[in-house]
Amino acid sequence: MKPRNNFILLAYANASPFPYHAWTPLAILSLGSYLEQHDIEVEYFDERIHKKERFKELVARGPLLIGLSTMTCFQIKNTIRLARLARKINPDIPLVWGGTHPSMMAEQTLESELVDFVVKGEGEQTLLELVCAVRDGKDFAAINGLGWKNGREIILNEDRDFLDIEKLPFPYDGKGKAIVLEYIRRSGDTLENIGYESSRGCPHKCGFCYNVYFHKNVCRVKSTAKVREELVKLKELGVNKMTFYDDTFLAGRKPAMLEILELLKELDFKWIANVRINTFDADLIKKFKDSGCVYIFFGVESPDDEVLKFIRKGQNRKMIDAGIEVASKGNIPTLYSLLIGLPGETEASMNRTLDFADEIRRLHPGAEVPIQPYVPLPGTKLYEEALKHGFKPPTHLEGWKNFTNDEVRNPWIKNPKLLNAIYINSFLAFRYDRFLRNFWSKIVFGPLHALSLWRWRKRNYTCFFELYLYLAYKRSGRFFIWLEKLIKN
């Protein structure tokens, strides 16, 4: 057995093939800063900004354990790749998986030979106790929130209560500072890629969302004093634009919003956030604009009250229409996300959703309206409906790697290629200005954007070669990122 050192390696695999999805990985930075607060040495590997050699070197140094965070998506594939590499370099190092997917599929995740422990749910205290137990040779049975193996037996300990977020350290202190500084250096005009978390949890119960399981509808909002302290620290690091990672900005609490909006204005931040569409009136959206808000995300999902009730959205068409009217006058770039391919969805219902995208853009010219096929995520309420409609979930961890909006094949969908085409078409048509204008526009994306607008108007998806271009890009993402840098230079 190779000797191990008393430091922890926290790794975040690439979660997307697209460069504009590279945001600061609070999933590991929050854990690392908490460990550092308790005098545990931490090293980070973020695949979006670090070379693979760094991961190899850190594993070769023999950390006490390796923490791997992953979601149910493309990221699983890359996390498995890192885990295999770690096993090859030093098979004695425990591999600890955490994040939304291992939390919701803990037992199946632990069945993998690449997994020794699973941290379920909020991980700071659980990981700290696990580190101490591994270091000191203690038993794992008393560590709440932990899944582990006793020989071939898989054991899931009791869930852990939520932490007091007022006591959590600033995630960019300590070793996290180097990460955020690198993201600041890479930040461009198309992306606010510095993340900040002012709350955890969401009060709503959307049936497709991980939140109901992961946070159990418990919402915790940081005090204004703590937010001020942390935003001042961000400013001192050189951050001027950022994204609120909150599932719903400040859990939708308007009194908290009003306080924080004044603070954001005072500190002169540019920022984006996810907000419920029924949040706004004319006065509040003006305050958002005045405080530096440069982008708002709305999960609208559907124009049909029946569908909204089915997915437990907690809003109706009347609220949505009123929200669009207010947002359209707010002079803030806005995204309205729509959902298709739900269990039991009819062709007529899907067509109403597509037509609603046109209506939104008539009411709010220039708005982004991505159309996203539904993905059954384990642990969610709609997952149970998907099973009733014939969905067969993967039987092993690696089987979840393609559970993304562009690759899921739900059995009730008669023409999955059509949904793929709509997804890609809506991206090229409605998100070009935000994400693609600066990426080789004159060579590739300009003509594709024009074609996508024509396809959308005609609803014509015959000979949809864009799908194959998209898949080639997705599978060869590193090559295209290299080519983009070469062209810019």
- Expressed in percent and rounded to 5, the helix, strand and coil fractions of the chain are 45, 15, 40
The region, left, alpha or beta by phi > 0 then psi within -120 to 50, assigned to residue 218 is beta
Of 73, 48, 18, residue with least CA distance to 424: 18
Q: Which two tokens stand for residue 328?
A: 């359209």
Query: CB pairs under 8 A, 24+ apart, for 386-390?
Result: 386/343, 386/410, 388/343, 389/343, 389/344
User: Which token pair is 336?
Assistant: 């309205």
How high is the pLDDT of residue 456?
A: 95
CA 489 – CA 485 distance, rounded (Å): 6
User: Does residue 36 contact residue 42 with C-beta atoms inside 8 Å?
Assistant: yes
Identity of the amino acid at 206: C
- Dihedral of alpha carbons 37, 38, 39, 42, sign: negative
Per-residue pLDDT of the chain (489 residues; tens, 9 = 90+): 454 578 999 999 988 766 556 789 999 999 999 999 999 999 999 998 999 999 999 999 999 999 999 998 889 999 999 999 999 999 999 999 999 999 999 999 999 999 999 999 999 999 999 999 999 999 999 999 999 999 889 999 999 999 999 999 999 999 999 999 988 887 654 455 899 999 999 888 999 998 888 888 888 999 999 999 999 999 999 999 999 999 999 888 889 999 999 999 999 999 999 999 999 999 999 999 999 999 999 999 999 999 999 999 999 999 999 999 999 999 999 999 999 999 999 999 999 999 999 999 999 999 999 999 999 989 899 999 999 999 999 999 999 988 877 777 789 998 888 999 999 999 889 988 777 766 556 677 788 889 999 999 999 998 898 888 877 766 665 544 444 444 444
What's the CATH fold of domain 7-156? Rossmann fold (3.40.50)
H or E segment and range at residue 45: strand 41-46
Edge to edge, the sheet with strand 195-196 lists: 195-196, 241-244, 270-274, 293-301, 334-340, 371-373
Rounded CA-CA distance 114/117 in Å is 10
pTM: 0.91
State the DSSP H helix or E strand holding residue 273, giving kind and residue range, or none if neither.
Answer: strand 270-274
**Sequence ranges of the domains in the chain:** 7-156, 415-489
pLDDT recorded at residue 252: 87
Residue whose token pair is 């909204």:
308
User: pLDDT at position 189, please?
Assistant: 44
Encoding tokens for residue 258? 């009003």
CB 307 within 8 A of CB 349: yes
Strand partners, 44: 10
Nearest to 107 by CA among 117, 92, 94: 117
Dihedral (Cα; 45, 81, 100, 385), 10-degree rounding: 160
For every residue of 129-161, DSSP letters joined together read HHHHHHHHT--STT-TTEEEEETTEEEEPPPPP
Query: What's the pLDDT at 186?
Result: 76
CB atoms within 10 A of CB 51: 10
| CA–CA separation, 217 and 205 (whole Å) | 7
Report helix angle 347-363 to 317-328, nearest 10. 30
Angle among Cα 409, 412, 415 to the nearest 5 degrees reads: 65
Residue in the structure block whose two tokens are 């204005």: 265
Looking at residue 73, its pLDDT comes to 84
Give the per-residue pLDDT at 203: 87
Dump the DSSP string for 68-102.
Answer: EE--SSHHHHHHHHHHHHHHHH-TTS-EEEESHHH
Q: What gap in Å lies between CA 467 and CA 353, rounded to an integer?
A: 21
* Packing angle, helices 416-430 and 347-363, rounded to 10: 0
